[in-house]
Structure 1
Amino acid sequence: MSFTVKGKKALVTGGTRGVGRGIVLALAREGVDVITCYRQDGELAGSLERELKEIGGQHAVVRADLTDSEQVTALLGECESRFGRLDLVVNNAAAISHIPYGELPIEEWRRVVDTNLTSVHLVIQGALPLLGAGSSVVSISSKSIEVGIPLRAHYTATKAALLGLNKSLAKEFGARGIRFNVLSLGMIYTEAFDAMPAKQREQMVERYSGMISLGRLGSPDEVAGAVLWLAGDLSRYVTGAVVPVDGGIS
């Protein structure tokens, strides 16, 4: 068995910021050709394109609203036309908000469910013709599903649903050699922390670090390491699994 993933073709949703961006760049550095998508225009998409160009390879950063089935079809058409196949799909795009459950509008419930769950279904179902034996589908979930988080019932529900979807698909498509796994993330330090007021950021980092066995928050690169493992032959007998990437949080 070999660690190398060079030459593989990947789709990573929500790849212009945070964890998704870390995954995209790590894959590109290891020789994977990557297509990623974003929903809203902004500098992040342009800066990612420039970074990918410097790394080299066949990459594309595409605008797509994954809650729109036609745009998902177009995105997967881009994957087919550029690559002809997919070896890895990473379902990373997600929405979150903090609203008391008793005040949660149905529109916000639907927005989060459509972004975090229905879009994953649309991407996976649409990608099936491009996935062959040895391909890997990785969906990003959260450790919060094990404990629950006030004001995030809608978000937590969608992340928990990914586990059932994953287990079912692993069994349904195991005979085709397609693997389905979930990463359960703990506290990962992204630019969202940098956007906080300094005092709030320091308090949050200190609070969560005290709950983590390793004594610190994780990084997008460390999530990307788990994705790289699930993308390659070293994990070829791993499917239907939930892999914690959480530093031992409790």
Structure 2
Amino acid sequence: MDLGLNGKTALVTGGTRGVGRGIVLKLARSGVDVITCHKQESDAAASLARELKEIGGRHQVVRADLADPEQVAELVGECRQRFGRLDLIVNNAGVINHVPYGKLSFEDWQRTLATNVTAVHLVIQNALPLLGEGSSVVSIGSKSIDAGIPLRAHYTATKAALVGLNRSLAREFGPKGIRFNILSLGVMRTEAMDAMPAEQREAMTKRYTEKIALGRFGTTEEAGDAVLWLASDLSRYVTGAVVPVDGGIG
């Protein structure tokens, strides 16, 4: 099915691993020109650049620390220079760790807030001149804001903050035809999960799949499919929404 995305332009933050990588590749294979970023040089970044070159298109993988406002401005400037506009932004970059709340350091709290919330704000604000009628901004959220997961209070708080930001921006920029939505992801299978020791992976699989209506984890490709929908005209009347992509987890 042709979604009319050929020739569109996108910025995807944190696109070299996991869900972000799945989204980048899905967009590129659908004819979207993609700029994505990573914080540190890695084999994952290099392999993604090679894969995008094989797909073809005006793609670029750049290094940027989104906790640094100047580097965010440079990243968006790269989009301006190469594309002149942005049809899609996917705010995917984020950090997560597991810390008992009583032992959560101020530095850890600040780092999580800076990457998961402030960076999203900075990317959107810097990119406003590149957005126009029909542009779509998608932020990757989490089902954890409904469940409330122990040891993740700081992470959950940042994902909840994105919901409020999203709804306010949808209202403010709706008259200009710019849409803002959130994908609320459940448990997705990524290379990080595959790298777990077999016993740990099997225990995690059993624990979570019993709670998921579809009886399995999601894939990064399925997250990419949801982004394609929000990038296309099929979702042209959808804004300010939190769209669950969670397999019916309860």
Q: TM-score range by the shorter chain?
A: over 0.9
- Show the counterpart of 1:217: 217
| TM-score normalised by length of structure 1 | 0.99
* Number of positions where the alignment pairs a residue of Structure 1 with one of Structure 2: 249
Deviations 1:59-85 (A, max 9, x none): 000000001000000000000000000
Deviations 1:90-133 (A, max 9, x none): 00000011111011100000000000000000000001000000
- Show the counterpart of 1:180: 180
- Show the counterpart of 2:166: 166
- Show the counterpart of 1:62: 62
% same residue: 71
Q: 1 CA distance for matches of 2:216 and 2:62?
A: 34
Q: Which runs of 4+ in 1 moved over 6 A?
A: none
Name the SS of the counterpart of 2:132 in structure 1: strand
Segments of structure 1 that go 5 or more residues without pairing to the other structure are none
Shift of residue 4 of structure 1?
2.0
| TM-score normalised by length of structure 2 | 0.99
Alignment of 1:28-47 (within 5 A): 28-47=28-47
Q: Match of 1:114, as an amino acid?
A: A
Name the SS of the counterpart of 1:244 in structure 2: strand
Alignment of 1:56-95 (within 5 A): 56-95=56-95
- Show the counterpart of 2:103: 103
Deviations 1:14-42 (A, max 9, x none): 00000000000000000000000000111
Q: Match of 2:195, as an amino acid?
A: A
- Show the counterpart of 1:151: 151
Shift of residue 173 of structure 1?
0.3
Segments of structure 2 that go 5 or more residues without pairing to the other structure are none
Q: 2 CA distance for matches of 1:131 and 1:228?
A: 17
Q: 2 CA distance for matches of 1:147 and 1:186?
A: 10
Q: 2 CA distance for matches of 1:98 and 1:63?
A: 26
Q: 2 CA distance for matches of 1:19 and 1:147?
A: 20
Q: 2 CA distance for matches of 1:99 and 1:188?
A: 21
Q: 2 CA distance for matches of 1:200 and 1:101?
A: 23
Q: 1 CA distance for matches of 2:86 and 2:249?
A: 33
- Show the counterpart of 1:6: 6
CA RMSD of aligned residues (A): 0.6
Q: 1 CA distance for matches of 2:88 and 2:116?
A: 19
Q: Match of 2:119, as an amino acid?
A: S
Q: 2 CA distance for matches of 1:202 and 1:31?
A: 37
- Show the counterpart of 2:235: 235
- Show the counterpart of 1:24: 24
Q: 2 CA distance for matches of 1:248 and 1:3?
A: 26
Deviations 1:195-230 (A, max 9, x none): 211010011112111111101000000000000000
